[in-house]
């Protein structure tokens, strides 16, 4: 156990030394204005690079990803129908679908599915 801890300590120490050494040797400059600015076809950008995006669009995207993952879980339930007990499969699938419907109702009740307010 002591040998394992000693080896881990040596590896961590060695990797930190290499990181510090590479940071000191590297020629990369963080102060270069041209490299830090956004690139837009060789011209100065016409708008700010930090444009705020719609939070509602982000929430719709997250909801889409959640339901997309749930659809893949439903698709994986279909082939398992043949290999498991019918009653257990029905209870599990029903519980999962009811939870999905409750989540959808909650999103609808909170008016998260409406694109405009």
Residue 56 has pLDDT above 90, yes or no: no
- For 62-80, what is each residue's pLDDT tens digit? 888 888 888 888 888 888 8
- For 93-109, what is each residue's pLDDT tens digit? 999 999 988 988 988 89
At 116, list the tokens: 């405009």
At 78, list the tokens: 């279909």
Residue with tokens 């956004």: 38
pLDDT band at 12 (very low <50, low <70, confident <90, very high): very high
Q: Dihedrals φ, ψ of 47, to 5°?
A: -130, 170
At 31, list the tokens: 């102060």
Q: Please give the pLDDT value at position 49.
A: 63
Task: Please answer whether residues 96 and 74 qualify as being in contact, where contact means their C-beta atoms are separated by less than 8 angstroms.
Answer: yes
At 91, list the tokens: 């209870």
């Amino acid at each position: 156990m002591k040998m394992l801890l000693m080896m881990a300590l040596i590896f961590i120490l060695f990797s930190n030394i290499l990181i510090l050494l590479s940071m000191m040797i590297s020629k990369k400059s963080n102060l270069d204005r041209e490299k830090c600015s956004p690139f837009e076809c060789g011209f100065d950008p016409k708008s700010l690079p930090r444009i705020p995006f719609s939070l509602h669009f982000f929430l719709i995207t997250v909801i889409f990803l959640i339901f997309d993952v749930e659809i893949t879980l439903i698709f994986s339930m279909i082939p398992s129908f043949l290999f498991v007990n019918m009653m257990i499969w029905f209870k599990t699938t029903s519980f999962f679908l009811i939870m999905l419907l409750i989540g959808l109702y909650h999103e609808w009740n909170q008016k998260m599915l409406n694109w405009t307010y």
